[in-house]
Each structure stands twice: as structure tokens, then as C-alpha cells.
Chains A and B, each alone.
Chain A
Amino acid sequence: MTVPLLTVDHLRIAAVRSGAAVIDDVSFAIERGEFLAVVGESGSGKTAAARAILGLLPPGLRRAGGQIELDGEDLATLSPRRMRTLRGPAVGMVFQEPMVSLNPAISVGAQMAEGLALHERLAKSEIRRRCLDMLARVQIRDPTRTFDAYPHEFSGGMRQRIMLASVMLLKPKLLLADEPTTALDTLTQREVLDLMVELARDHGTSVMLITHNLGLVSRYAQRAVVLQQGRLVETGSVQQILFSPREAYTRQLVEALPRRGVATARRAAGEPLISVRGLKVSFGGRQRLFRHEADVAAVNGVDLDIAAGETVAVVGGSGSGKTTLGRAMLRLIAPAGGEIRFQGRDVTSTHDREFRLASQLVFQDPYSSLDPRMRVGEIVAEPLRHVARLTAAERDRRVAAMLDEVGLAGLAERWPHELSGGQRQRIAIARAIVRHPSFVVADEPVSALDMTIQAQVLKLFGRLQAQYGFACLFISHDLAAVEQVADRVVVMQGGRVVEQGSRDDVFDHPQHDYTKALLAAAPVLDFARPTSVRQLG
């Protein structure tokens, strides 16, 4: 090929104060029209690398060496003024968090028009026309209305499309996409990324996709760069990286991908542990000045049985009601109708102390689910308050044993904020398990974690379940994780169960269209078939 569009040469980024390298001696190149994936876990420096290309490093970081050459121009020698003219027409960026990357106080149209007005000399009507065209191009249903609307009126997926539209409006030569779909559910993720590929192909834009999801890499990228703690581990074609990785770390990443475990026939005979009939949960509509908006049914008539020791996965996109179902089954949200039975007793509206003590919850976000002012040991010990006749010594012993079991031995005196996300999630799991519950709701327990950490936590969870035999409602939009842990799968859409069955049945012979769509959208790495690498312009 000819001269690459972007060459990053021996790049080094260091912290201003300590001089510690965030990116150390990293080199890679992106060809024109190429789709390059930068793969790495948190702390790998992948975001810092992207920001260095834009010349927008956060205040604490600076470039300590190396070169970044874009289209023959060395970005290091450019004046800030020249750099500004490049941002937009030459390099565009889509951020991870669509909920906060659009200015809530400015209309969508005005935000989109900003770039055009800045970089091109166009009449107002022309700008408007181009914006509307681009909104239509990213499949926004009503471009004219969207143009005058404000960001809060749109869902995460729609906002990410708007973001994409406003970036692509300037036809950049290079698009930096920093985990653009991590915050979105599987179906939306697929739609947004497909769109991004199409737009990039139309405009001949090269894409640098930063992600930790190897499924996405295999589906969209042609080449990949693997980073670990600021160092380049491996670079090569996606085929080679995924199927014959040379480096141990890459192998570890690939192996961390969830795979279908052996189907366990854990189903106990007889009465289910917990059984739900016609469960309804609705959220009151907002009380406006003169009218009461209609109630929204988040869960609308769900039937579900969970046997002792069984793992039932609930899958569905955002807004499918899966989280609400989990909360309602724990009686954290009062149901509007239906019945919940625990060991044959009706616990729907009565305050059943035994049920409360036998059920637990593991949260999605390990950062907000631990009290920042309690030490790790105190957090894990707290559930034991409600265990009768437990001496302080016994309690301490159980806490220590539990911490040992989740691999956090000796950390009892630490504060949560001193630990990593994976460690925090282990604390949350320890807190849930320490009282030996018979029913645990796990609400997206690994989706906030890195791939290798996800694998470890899922494995830990499986081991604890085998050991303590609790039943589990595993809520997730990540089908790969579900495939690994679930005995049965329940698919939810719009508050209803559209399909349920054994894991193998649902994954291998999906009946409902929504299930099929979910499965098709899931970025799973299929080891049986070679990946279909998309050929771009």
C-alpha cells in the first residue's frame, strides 16, 4: 500500500508529575480506508493514545516522545491553531458515553451545525440541508424534528447516532471511536456500529475502534493492535490475532471470552424454590400540573419458576424490564399485580423475614454498590448481623473465610476505593454469599468489568454456586456471559417474556424473532467458522 494515513511512531505519553509512562514506545499505522481495532483493558492507555492523536490529552498527561504523523503532517510540530483546523475535518471522535457527550443545553441541530460553520464556508440553509441529510443517513426517523430537539429527548443509541452524524458531517479522514457502544445494549450496538462502517465506507474514512470487546473486533476490524499497560503487545491482522495469537497476553484475552459451559442438570425435582405468576410492575407516570401521565408497565405479566440451585438468565435490551423484574422478585419494588411464592409461601405483599434473609442481590456497578466509608471486612460482615447466635469470633472467622474464598484474603482492612473494579465486584459477591442465601439476583454483574476480569468473576461465581447451591437469576444483555453460566434462558421484550427454555434450546433453536435478532447481533467470536472480515472501500 501507499503511505499510511496515520503513523504513530514510538509514542510515549507520561504523567506530568511523576513521569510514569501511560503509553510507552507504541508504534502502529492506519491505512486509508482501513478499520483498525485498538484492543486493551482499562489502564492499557488506549484512550490516552486516541487523545494524543487529537492533541487533547488530559491536563495530567503530556507527550514525552515519539511522533504522530497524519497525512504527512507531524502533529507534534503543529501550532494549536493549525491543530484546531484539523480536529473535525481531518480527525473526528465519537466518545463512549452518549449520555454526556452532547451538550444538554443546545439543540441537536445547533450542535451539528457548529462543526460545519467553523470549518466550511456555507450558507445557513446549506448547513441545515446537510445536517438533515446526515440525520436521515443515520436512520433518525424524523430529521426535521430531531434537528430542533434537545439531546435529553433521545435514548443512548439515538444520541450515539446523532454524535456519529455530527462527526461524519465533516467527512473526516480518520474517525476515532472510543468504546462507542459499550454503554449500549446488544441490538443497538450492532445498529450503531453497522452504520459507522457504512458511513466510513461512503466517505473513505479510516476508523480506529478502541474496544475491549473481541467479538466486535472480529466482526468489524481488519487489523488489530493489542495494548497492555501502555505497551504494544502485538499487532497484526484480526485473523491472526484472534486465531493464532503469538503473545501470551493476547492468548489470555482470547481465552477470556465466555464459552458455553457443559449443561448442568441442576434442576431439582418437585416444587420450585421461587415462583412468579403474572407479575406486574408499573411506574407511576409523572404528575404534571393538570394531568397525570399514564402509568408505564415495566414488567407486564411475567411467569417464571426457579428451582433450587438453578441459574436462570434473563436477557433483553435496555428497557425490556429485566432489571425491574429482578428488583421486584427481591421485593425491592412493590409489584402492581401478580404473585411471588418462595418455598410455596406467598411473599408478594407480606413482609417475609425469612425470604428477605434468604435472598441477595449483586449489583452491576461495583463502584456505587459499596459504602465508601466502610472497610472491606465490615462490608462483608454486615449481612451476618442478622444471623442469630453468632459470636464476634465466629463472625470474623466467617468473614475471613469468605474473603479468602473470593480471592481477597488479607484485604479486610482496606477501603473499597483502594481496590480495582474486579476486586470490588468480588467484595459485592462475598457480601451476597456470606450468609449462604438460597436465591441470588445478579444484575449485570460483570458488564462493568474488563474481559479477563469478567472471565475470572464469572468463574468465581460459578464455583461459589456449585459450592453453596444457591439459585440465581442472572440478568444480562451480554449473551456470551449468559451462554456460559445459564441453565435456562428467559428472553424479555417490553416487559413481557417472549421466549423461555433451556439454554441450548434458546441459543441453538431460537423461536421468537426478537431472540433471533438478539442472537444475530451478539458479537460472539465463533471459533467454528472463520470470521468474515469486511472489505472496506
Chain B
Amino acid sequence: MRWHANTVIGGALMTLVLGTALTAAFWTPFDPLRVNLRARLQPPSSLFWLGTDEFGRDVLSRIMAGAGTSVVMALFTVALAVGVGVVVGCVAGYLRGWTDRVIMAVNDALLAFPGILLALAMMIVLGASKSGLVLALGLAYIPSVVRVVRGTVLSIREKEYIEASRVIGNSELYSMVRHVLPNAMSPVAVLATSMFGWVLLAESALSFLGLGVPPPAPTWGNMLAASRPYMETAAWLSIAPGVCIALTLLGINLLGDSLRDRLDPRMAHG
């Protein structure tokens, strides 16, 4: 198997992020929650590598602790959206008829709202918590998955190999799971990786509005949100989580692309 640059860079970045998250579970340079008002807004130094925030908490420690929360939350959210979206989209695309019409009518109505607005409304109902955030963002992103999956399924179910499966005597459910689903996964993989990025950003947006993961627990999103008033005087506060989000996005997108190519036998050459 040849190693593509995509796989190597993407894999390295994701290993770094997950490794950091794992390390933070056992050890961080400082307690990420310990307030030290004498060391407020310290620029990066040999003691505080990434500086300190407005409460004197060590930014590096908070980045490390936040990695786990942010990445795990994003993973759960994407898993929720993709899991539900694929099933619903498949059912709509495969059964067509009234089932399809009803599902798509509801779906399109949901799509008409911006995802963040939907999540916002749900957060207000559910209250600010990690699981609430996962649920709200997950539900908000389901409609776009449904759209993509349904379209792909519609085109695949017309392929002759699906007809061949029916002639063989396979049940509809078997045909769907064995033949339609695997062939519909490529666009879903692309969508899921970009969605990962949206979720990280959406989490920071919701945190900014006070509806994300409640402080003082660090996430990259709420760190970014909290850094806004100090952008001019203490730029490191926003740079650190910003760079982390960007690198994670890059990593997951590269990895997603290479994974998609590898899973498709037609693309996996050599």
C-alpha cells in the first residue's frame, strides 16, 4: 500500500490532537481550572508556554484539556447526524412515494433554518450542557445528511446491480444494506469531515452566546469566545485555540479524503 501525503499529514495531525486529549486526562502542566489573579494575561513565557488568560489560568493546560472535550463532542455530534441522517435518507430514497414526500417536506422545512439557529433554539430548550450541545448540533445537521444520502440513493437504486440483487431474490432491506448503502457512502464521508469543522466552530459560536459548554470547563470554542475582549492586548488567547481548530480541521479533512479513496475499490490503486 502506498502512503499518500494526505494520509500521513492527516494521520499525524489527528494523532497529535487525540494524543493531547489523552495526555490531558492524566497530566497537564497546571490545573486548567486554577485561577491565579496575580498572573493574569501573561504573554507566552518559559513558565506559561502559551501564556495565561484573564483569570491567570494556563492557556496550554486549558488547550490540552479542551482538546478532549471539543474533539469528542464533535465526533459524537457528527456520528449522531450521520447515523440518523443516513437511515432517514436511505428510507426516503429507497422507498420513495409518500414516505419520501413526507420525510423530505419535514427535512426541507428544517433545512430552511440556518443550522446554528436551530441549534440555538434547541439549546435554549435543553439548557447548556455537553450532552445538550451534542444533541442540538447533531439534530441541526441531520437535514443536510438526509438530503445528500437521499439523492445518492435515488441514483444508485436505478443501477442495474440493484435490479440484479432483486432478481437474485434478495429482500429490499438486504439490497439496501448490502448494495445501496456502501455505494452511497462516498459523499457522506466528505460531508461528515466538513461537518466536523462546522461543529467545532458552531460550538464556539454557541459558547460565545453563553449557550455552549458552561464555563469554567475549557473547550476550544469557549476559549475562543472568551478571548474576544482581549484580542488587541493578549492576542495569544485567541491564536492558540484558533490554530488548534484549524489544524484539527485540516487533519480530519485530509484523513477523510484519504479514507474515502481507500474505501472505494475503484480509487485504491497500488
Contacts and interface: CB of A to CB of B under 8 A. Distances in A.
Interface of A: 330, 332, 353, 356-357, 359-361, 363, 365, 368-373, 382-383, 385-386, 415, 417, 428, 431, 435
A382 B165 contact: yes
A361 B166 CA distance: 10
A386 B168 contact: yes
20 contacts: A330-B167, A356-B167, A359-B167, A363-B160, A363-B163, A370-B161, A371-B161, A371-B182, A372-B183, A372-B265, A372-B266, A373-B182, A373-B183, A373-B265, A382-B165, A382-B170, A385-B170, A428-B164, A431-B164, A431-B168
A140 B264 CA distance: 46
A357 B169 contact: yes
Nearest to A358: B169
5 nearest A-B residue pairs (beta carbon): A369-B160, A415-B265, A371-B161, A383-B168, A361-B167
A334 to B, nearest CB: 13
B159 interface: yes
A371 B166 CA distance: 13
Interface string B170-191: 1000000001001100000000
Contacts of B183: 371-373
A373 B159 CA distance: 13
A365 B265 contact: no
A386 B169 contact: yes
Contacts, number: 58
Contacts of A435: 168
A332 B163 contact: yes
Contact of A368 (B161, B165, B264): B161
Contacts of A360: 167-168
Interface residues of B, number: 17
A422 B40 CA distance: 74
Contact of B163 (A356, A359, A361): A361
A363 B168 CA distance: 13
A369 B161 contact: yes
Contacts of A371: 161, 165, 179, 182-183
Contacts of B164: 361, 363, 369-370, 428, 431
Interface string B40-59: 00000000000000000000
Given A373-B183, A373-B265, A417-B266, A368 B160 contact: yes
Nearest to A327: B163
A368 B265 CA distance: 15
A388 to B, nearest CB: 12
Nearest to B182: A373
Q: Could you say which of A360, A369, A371, A435 has the most chain B C-beta atoms within 10 Å of its C-beta?
A: A371
B264 A373 contact: yes
Given A332-B166, A359-B167, A386-B168, A365 B160 contact: yes
Contact of B159 (A330, A353, A368, A385): A368
A385 B179 CA distance: 15
Interface string B183-208: 10000000000000000000000000
B95 to A, nearest CB: 16
Nearest to A384: B168
B169 A356 contact: yes
Contacts of A368: 159-161
Contacts of A417: 265-266
